[in-house]
Amino acid sequence: MGNQKVKWTVEEEEALKAGVVKHGLGKWKNILRDPQFAPYLSNRSNIDLKDKWRNMCISYGQCSRKKLKASRVKTISSEALSTLTTGNLVAEVDAIDDFSGSPQDVRDAPGYKTMIFEALSSIRDSSGSNIDDIVGFIEQKHEVPQNIRRILSTRLRRLVLQGKLEKVQDRYKIKDATLGTKTPMPKQKDISAETVEDAAMTAAYKIADAEDKSFVAAEAVKEAERVSTMAEDADSFLLLANEIFEKCSRGETIRLANSSYNFD
């Protein structure tokens, strides 16, 4: 009398994971409505998504459903985090600021971004400034960490991607307000690195906000930066989705808050 059980395909699973990354946990209907995922999930209901996510969390957590009842392994234990959420991570990830406004430009670290423009407009070299000039200038005016060069390198790359800076050879110039093309907002398989990073970060923040998991967001941001730096491949998006997914499902994020939290 019951219905046939139709197993989930990997495409469906990936779409679900990506959907959770983008829309956050528990936003099943949103995921389903998103034209980006809808084609893959046309045979599934929002309840199906929820059930499937539950199952995936259980299997990845190596814990059967009935044992789950006894041993309190929820998706994430909110106990462990209360000790970690506040301290070092928030300080470390300066990218966490206000993203309540437009989801477009908000997640750049205001500090470094400002410093970069300050440096560039002060140096005012018609051929642009290379990264050493910029680093030198900023080091003189601000207290900056050791790995400032690497941080700046990431920021510069991103600003170029956003069309706010122009890169000629090894030199960076401010690109004046001719920002004709904002985000191209590509279709399905053709995701630009910037969009990937953007979506991943926004999603990570939403998840963190919903579940009080700042450290997951911090980790995701780190991953997003790495992804955007090293590859402009849509596959990275799925990789990132998988990583976030696994971390969500087994609450295995504690270690990186303790000591092994490094940007380099």
* Binding residues for DNA (CB under 7 A): 1-8, 25-30, 44, 46-48, 50-52, 54-55, 58-59, 64-66, 69
CA dihedral 19, 161, 147, 87 (to 10 degrees): -30
Neighbours of 261 (CB within 10 A): 16
Nearer to DNA, 38 or 131 (CB): 38
- Residues 6 or more apart whose CB falls under 8 angstroms from that of 23 comprise 30, 31, 34, 203, 206
Least CB distance to DNA at residue 3 (A): 4
Least CB distance to DNA at residue 59 (A): 5
Nearer to DNA, 75 or 88 (CB): 75
Cα–Cα–Cα angle for 88, 92, 93, rounded to 5 degrees: 125
Least CB distance to DNA at residue 16 (A): 10
Token pair of 240, please?
């990132």
- Residues 6 or more apart whose CB falls under 8 angstroms from that of 187 comprise none
Nearer to DNA, 58 or 161 (CB): 58
Least CB distance to DNA at residue 70 (A): 11
Least CB distance to DNA at residue 215 (A): 20
Contact between 32 and 46 under an 8 Å Cβ cutoff? The reply is yes
Contact between 133 and 123 under an 8 Å Cβ cutoff? The reply is yes
Indicate the SS3 state at residue 167: strand
The Cα 232–Cα 171 span in angstroms is: 22
Nearer to DNA, 51 or 232 (CB): 51
Least CB distance to DNA at residue 84 (A): 22
Nearer to DNA, 31 or 204 (CB): 31
Nearer to DNA, 58 or 131 (CB): 58
